[in-house]
Structure 1
Amino acid sequence: MVILEAKNIVKRFGGVTALSDGNIVCREGKITGLLGTNGSGKSTISKIITGVYLPDSGTITYYGQQVSFRNPIEAKKAGIIMAFQNLSLIPDLTVWQNVVLSFEKTKKGFLDNQSAKKITKELIDSFVEGFDIERKVVQLNSSEKQIVEIVKAISEEPKLLILDEPTAALEQAQAQALFKYMKKLAAQGTSIIFTSHRMNEIMEVCDDIVVFNNGHNVGSVDFEVDGRNQKEIVKMITGDIHTEDISHTRTENTKDIQLEIKNLQYENILHDIQFSVKKGEVLGIGGLQGQGQTELMLALAGNYKTLQAEVHLNKEKIRLNTPANTIRKGIFLVPGDRQTEGLMMKESIYHNMLMPKFALKRQPFFIPEKKYRKECEEIVKLLSIKTDSIDTKADNLSGGNQQKIVVGKWLPFDIKVLLLSDPAKGVDIGAKRDMYQFILKLAREKDISVILYASDNDELVRYCDNVLIMYEGSIVKRLSGDAINNVNITAASLNLTKEEEVEKDECKEH
């Protein structure tokens, strides 16, 4: 039974057409994968269905009736709920207060807080045990916030649940718990739209898929009828059958050491970190999420004034005491959370690329506008950033194009070390491939050292010359050459003493 059908949806933002022919059908009790490259219109059509945006034209039919939700409240009342990738939580409220916000239950004229806490606790325990629902959201890490966002959506008992990149911030066990719950909801008759850039997740949990490309619906596949052909699906998404990221040839690097770190300590988070990275080398940082990887990247970028470390850059002793100082020394950070750490979302592409220049010691009295605009246009072209103008605001661009700006704003500088903190999170297959191709080429040709933290082990395997594994704030393993594989990374991430233990477990499963 079809419960919702969106037909010929058109949506424009200024001069940018986000959707030109958006179509999607949702059936009762089915999990529909919504796929496409960044900027293809996936998030836009989801937000139109839930009343965040109004379409410029097109129709939405819900349970046989044509509807036009003017805001998310109207959509919620009709049973359509969305868990947002960029979160809709209130930082200063507790977990349980966020979950029940806007549909609080009362008892004898008073808010029934005990009931609200019970509901929240039961749902969250489905994803992770021992979660303190009295904590404020501002105190949570990214995966915990995402869990709260999902639980908030589920708690409202939706008829149609839309999950926009829900696993981007989740650990593997949390993602598996989500898939189990999604299947449970589907069995109870709930329809689900699931957006993910991870093909293995789509193959595992979806009943059918819809593929968007450049604002159009370019095809759909019913797995029960047509089977699960991953190559064909990826070809639909990118228009290119050669969709796997480029193979990375690891060769012995005989170049000089560019950055050397000794005895790095930060409060009770990072302990005795020691490593070096050569010119032109891509050094991976792996491990389970929350083991200090993000803090290490921030430390190397100069974010912690109380950091203790002995640091040499090209044999010169330096201090990682402020971001401005590290920028001047040639160390640059591409953060994973582009919207809160990497960009000024309400500013233009040009202004985002211009601002880092003000970290330099010397600035011209008058900004050479013509020179800087030409430089910005050249970077936009070099990185294939999809935009009509460099004056387009960052929040009008897709996630992949936003991330390209975060990389691009450092290109005019003399880069010695490029820090990539989970840069491909929430970036589609094609954009991810293009970004890494560019960065690898840049590293080899310019003798730039790249330090890449990736929560996806496949990125470490494909792109890194060496990989360091972190556990509880320390480096516990270094992998090189053929030892860089999923089995060894997983074993080291769990701090196992024998990598064979993981291999044996996998053999048992098969």
Structure 2
Amino acid sequence: MSTVPVVEAHQVCKRYGATVALDHADLTVLPGQTHALVGRNGAGKSTLVSVLTGLTGPDSGTVLFGGEPAPRAADRDAWRARVACVYQKSTIIPDLSVAENLFLNRQETRGGLLRWSAVRRAAEELLDRWSVAVDVRRPAGELSVEQRQFVEIARSLSFGARFVILDEPTAQLDGAAITRLFEHIAELQRQGVTFLFISHHLQEVYDICDTVTVYRDARHVLTAPVADLPRAGLVAAMTGEDTGSAAEARTTSARRGAPPVLRVRDLSLDPVYAGVSFDVAPGEIVGLAGAGGSGKTEVAETVVGLRKADAGTVHIGDRRIRPGDVPAALAAGVGFVPEDRHHQGFVPEMSIADNATMTVMDRLGPGIFVRSAERDRLAGTMITRLAVKTPGPELPVSALSGGNQQKVVLARALAGDPRLLVLITPTAGVDVRSKEFLLGKIAEAAEAGTAVLIASDELDDLRLCDRLVVLTHGRPATEFPAGWQDREVVAAMEGVDLDA
């Protein structure tokens, strides 16, 4: 087997405005390997994948395939012949058959007419070559997540690529499907296919990979054989600490002995999460921690009624909230900061005043009528409370910076003086000063007696919590009281036993 690397990235840099996405990053993948690329959110993994697949050009640095320079950005056929990426979100078109998906825009024709028998025969030969047992006539929408991934891998190999990037391939698979996927990867590896494996679940690195590369803060930190790298060493490379820094314990104002504000019992939503139970007391901040695909976000969205669980109960105070009932959750006293402020958190062209008060419209006037003076008074109070930088409440939210937009989203959540505040990655995409300010306001709400639930994988968010419930593959894995160490929590989120 050739020893020339399948792909090499040398000193690759990429900036987006003031954000450094890659800082002189390196990667070398040898033929026949299954090579892991790991790192915390924001480490630079996704940007590197964009560079390696030709979707993004580096500002500086070089990319080589088999020792030769990467193709021109416009030469998509040349890129497909060198590298393929199977993303977590499927690119299979559900309304087309498996055969049509495999040879979309490449179907054999005669006299301008499609030769469907030839397309199906070619599809069968392709799937047989790569050991994929799927009926090519079947509508792709009927395939399981696992089968769609196998079809996407076979399609990528049909272009000639023998280097495949797998981006979070296990995020939507159950244990049995993960085992079959790993067996399939091992078989393809024996046939000369090389994989770059990206996963939030570090145990999978030890299950399937030969070599691991760690990125942290947009930089290459470490490349080592998996067999030679203890789990504790891998987590330390990701977090930048040898022994883990203890999270500072917050002086909690949780009212001991008081009935919980939130009670979640045996909550399940197949196949996303199962058997989730926890309480949040008045004045307590509880974190739902977990990597991508852990189910933490979906559990939080279920609590506020955005998702409908298959089983289990959610009580807020003495009210049992009907599954999937957002108005009932709001009426019970929930304030909510969603994961994506741009699509879920505010209406961009509406004013700050309208956005900040839309959850308390019933207080601003009779029926559908709003007393504008009352709205502006309440909005002014929230603008002052959240220190939103604006010339006035009439300014559209779209005109604000990211940090100030997130302050408006938090203002809306707090406007109704909620009993329970549910926040999903509340400081995502904001600058350091805004992050500190937002976390301080969340702590103030808890000190005033509000129960707080934070779903996040950001350690800065989680350090605010009195305790953490860690989810792995949709199930509660462990719980940490305040005073936990970064490496312990990261290892639990990634599914790694530090003592193994």
TM interval, shorter chain, is 0.5 to 0.7
Structure 1 counterpart SS, 2:479: helix
Distance 1:75 1:120 in 2: 20
The AA in structure 1 aligned to 2:163 is L
Indicate whether 1:391 and 2:394 are aligned.
no
Mapping 1:83-482, distance limit 5 Å: 83-90=86-93, 92-93=95-96, 97-104=100-107, 109-111=114-116, 112-115=118-121, 118=124, 134-135=138-139, 137=141, 144-145=144-145, 148-149=148-149, 151-157=151-157, 158-223=161-226, 227-243=228-244, 254-259=257-262, 279=282, 280=284, 300-303=303-306, 313-315=316-318, 322-324=325-327, 326-327=329-330, 329-331=332-334, 357-361=357-361, 362=364, 372=383, 375=386, 391=401, 412=414, 414-417=417-420, 446-448=449-451, 450=453, 454-456=471-473, 459-463=476-480
Larger radius of gyration: 2
Distance 1:258 1:183 in 2: 49
Deviations 1:366-425 (A, max 9, x none): 8769964983879xxxxxxxxxx973599xxxxxxxxx999968764544345689x89x
Question: Could you tell me how far 1:239 is from its partner in structure 2?
Answer: 0.5
CA contact (8 A) 1:95 1:133 kept: yes
Structure 2 counterpart SS, 1:233: helix
Question: Could you tell me how far 1:69 is from its partner in structure 2?
Answer: 4.0
> TM-score, normalized by length of structure 2?
0.62
CA contact (8 A) 2:168 2:200 kept: yes
Aligned partner of 2:495 in structure 1 is none
Deviations 1:251-275 (A, max 9, x none): 997321435799x999xxxxxx999
Distance 1:353 1:78 in 2: 53
CA contact (8 A) 1:17 1:215 kept: yes
Distance 1:213 1:265 in 2: 34
CA contact (8 A) 2:337 2:413 kept: no
Aligned partner of 2:31 in structure 1 is 28
Return closer, same or farther for 1:116/1:323 CA change in 2, 3 Å cut-off: farther
Deviations 1:234-256 (A, max 9, x none): 212110234599799xx997321
Unaligned regions of 5+ residues in structure 1, if any? 267-272, 379-388, 395-403, 425-433, 466-485, 487-510
Return closer, same or farther for 1:254/1:97 CA change in 2, 3 Å cut-off: farther
Percent identity (aligned): 22
Distance 2:108 2:138 in 1: 18
Question: Could you tell me how far 1:298 is from its partner in structure 2?
Answer: 5.7
Unaligned regions of 5+ residues in structure 2, if any? 270-275, 365-369, 390-398, 427-435, 456-468, 483-491, 493-500
Distance 1:242 1:51 in 2: 38
Return closer, same or farther for 1:444/1:191 CA change in 2, 3 Å cut-off: same
The AA in structure 2 aligned to 1:79 is R
> TM-score, normalized by length of structure 1?
0.61
Structure 1 counterpart SS, 2:9: strand
Distance 1:198 1:213 in 2: 16
Distance 1:239 1:161 in 2: 29
Return closer, same or farther for 1:223/1:135 CA change in 2, 3 Å cut-off: same
Question: Could you tell me how far 1:42 is from its partner in structure 2?
Answer: 0.9
Q: CA RMSD in A?
A: 5.9
Question: Could you tell me how far 1:53 is from its partner in structure 2?
Answer: 0.9
Deviations 1:422-444 (A, max 9, x none): x89xxxxxxxxx9xx99998997
CA contact (8 A) 2:382 2:411 kept: no
Question: Could you tell me how far 1:59 is from its partner in structure 2?
Answer: 1.1
Structure 1 counterpart SS, 2:84: strand
Structure 1 counterpart SS, 2:46: helix
With 193-202 and 154-163 compared, the bigger mean Cα shift is at 154-163
Distance 1:23 1:409 in 2: 42
Deviations 1:37-56 (A, max 9, x none): 21121111111111111122
Structure 1 counterpart SS, 2:43: coil
